[in-house]
Amino acid sequence: MKEKKIPELLIPAGNLEKMRTAVLYGADAVYIGVSGLSLRAQSAEMSLADLTNGVREAHARGVKVYAAINTFARNADLLQARLIIPELAAIPVDAVIVSDPGMIRLIKSLAPQLPIHLSTQANTTNSEAVRFWRDQGVKRIVLARELNLREVGEIAAAVPEVELELFVHGAMCMAYSGRCYLSAYRNQRSANEGDCTQSCRWEYLLYESTRPGDPLVLEEDERYTYLLSSKDLCLIEYLPEITAAGVRSVKIEGRMKSTHYVAVVARTYHWALNALIQNPGNYHCNPEWLAELKKISNRGYTTGFAFSEEKINETSPEIKYSQTHELAGTVLQYDSVRKRMLVGVRNHLAAGDQVELLLLDETVRIDTRIMVDANGKQLPEANNDNQIYLPLEREASIGAVLRQKVK
């Protein structure tokens, strides 16, 4: 394999808590949405105040922060963009992710020092397009998800001065460029305003009126997608091929996903990339990593378009969301004298439940038979928002994630 630089691990951070989680569990960089200007709903956007704090903390740990302002702006959005762009530059974020050429023009005039990353929403699929965006001042391009790794490698070789970023994990949108009205029609929440409810993942049967008992399976060839029921992308087994193709940043989807998802996906890909750094010529995907990725919300995994001979997925009613584990709580404090941690409970927890504490390099079983409150009173159970003490011999960082099996 030709030696290439190991890619950066880029993790989604829908809010300040998730940003801290991503940093704690091995992200090299995080991406966030900025209120009102990202293609995600408000639940996955950050205020400038949170972003300022988050960037300070991330930079102290050597982690970069990219701010998505990737809305396709209408004239009415430009005033806010003019206000926000200089603020982002002053924080300073490490780059802004944009889709709209108008936003690029604004950034170049208002904050020319701010590196520009082009969003996957701009749907860049060839090296001439990459050159075009380079000439507009774009430093990095998040390639279209429809490309295979051979095409990615050809683009990287043709335009090496532009950094390429590639989605390697997470939910896949079945609409080309994410331009889709399915959620708006079915749920009155528009994907084009960043509020997709992923209606394409629901179960549908398409009937022709003359053949009522004979539902159609909708599929397209490998240049596009299978419709309506995509599995999730997972390329952890192919990190050497992705590195060899010249990808500079591997990106995880999921700004709307949970803190548990962020912790697991960050540390699992962190382990995998570390293994690649240590032994680039002999990378093996540890089955434990795949087992970890099945513990978080997923619809079964596919390699998507990475290999042109493969189909993106099967349209099958069997494709459903699953996850074996969920968030139990997070560590609020560690008491090294009494060897216990204060936990902010985020679920229902009964004494004796099997709970695991996720550390960056290991998973620790926690004894929940002795849950006590601040007064030392033993508790038979705890609920969301309760604070409890659980025994722990070794120190845990604030924000560390505890998980339990889905009940």
* Chain residues in the site for ligand SF4 (CB under 6 A): 173-175, 178, 180, 182-183, 191, 196, 198-200
Nearest to 46 by CA among 59, 32, 58, 29: 32
Extended strands (E) in 313-380: 325-335, 340-345, 349-350, 355-358, 363-366
The smaller minimum CB distance to ligand SF4, of residues 199 and 243, is found at 199
DSSP conformation class of 28:
S
Return the amino acid letter for 226.
Y
| Closest distance to ligand SF4 from the beta carbon of 200 (Å) | 3
Nearest to 140 by CA among 174, 117, 108, 173: 117
| Closest distance to ligand SF4 from the beta carbon of 355 (Å) | 33
| Closest distance to ligand SF4 from the beta carbon of 202 (Å) | 9
Nearest to 322 by CA among 282, 293, 352: 293
Q: Hey, which residues does 249 pair with through a beta bridge?
A: 8, 165
The smaller minimum CB distance to ligand SF4, of residues 199 and 297, is found at 199
Q: Hey, which residues does 253 pair with through a beta bridge?
A: none
Residue 17: φ, ψ to 5° = -60, -45
The smaller minimum CB distance to ligand SF4, of residues 46 and 173, is found at 173
| Closest distance to ligand SF4 from the beta carbon of 181 (Å) | 8
| Closest distance to ligand SF4 from the beta carbon of 13 (Å) | 20
The smaller minimum CB distance to ligand SF4, of residues 226 and 283, is found at 226
Alpha carbons 384 and 92: distance in angstroms, whole number: 35
Q: Hey, which residues does 340 pair with through a beta bridge?
A: 335, 391
The smaller minimum CB distance to ligand SF4, of residues 58 and 191, is found at 191
Cβ(84)–Cβ(110) below 8 Å? no
Nearest to 246 by CA among 361, 179, 155, 311: 155
The smaller minimum CB distance to ligand SF4, of residues 175 and 372, is found at 175
| Closest distance to ligand SF4 from the beta carbon of 194 (Å) | 10
